[in-house]
Structure formats: structure tokens, C-alpha cells
Amino acid sequence: MADSARELEAKVLKLSPRQRARLAERLISSLQKGVDADAEKLWLAEAERRLDEVESGEVAGIPEKTVSRKARSTLR
């Protein structure tokens, strides 16, 4: 099963950012019971708005290494 999960992960990472965001939302939703549907819709809309800002160049992303380094130093 671990190998099939790795294969699936590799395939999923080839999807577009929007497709991955949609899939992530559906997977997370499948783990939660009793989720407020209105809140879910608002969070999804916010995530899509932020993705649009990044894709349009309106907002610059922060490299993962920078974010990880800052998070590690904050947690120390």
C-alpha cells in the first residue's frame, strides 16, 4: 500500500495548482465530520482568491525553504 500511495502522490503532484487545491479540499473534508458547509465554502473561496493572486503575479510567493527555516527558528 505504501508504494501505491507514493505512486498516487507522484501523479497528484503533476496536477495543476488549482486541481491540487481542489483535491486537497476534498480529502480534508472527507476526514472531518460535522463541518460547517458555509465555512468550508468561504475557506475554499479564500484559497482560490489567493491562488489567483499568485498566478496573476499580484502577490509573490515565499520559497518553501524560507518558510521552513523561519518556522523552525520560531519553534525553537
Cα–Cα distance measured from residue 64 to residue 58, given in angstroms and rounded to the nearest whole number: 19
Q: Where are the domains of the chain?
A: 1-34+44-60
Q: Considering only CA atoms, give the Rg of the chain.
A: 16
Check whether 28 has a pLDDT greater than 80: yes
Instruction: Name the band, by pLDDT with cuts 50, 70 and 90, for residue 1.
Output: low
Check whether 65 has a pLDDT greater than 90: yes
Q: Which helix (H) or strand (E) holds 52?
A: helix 37-56
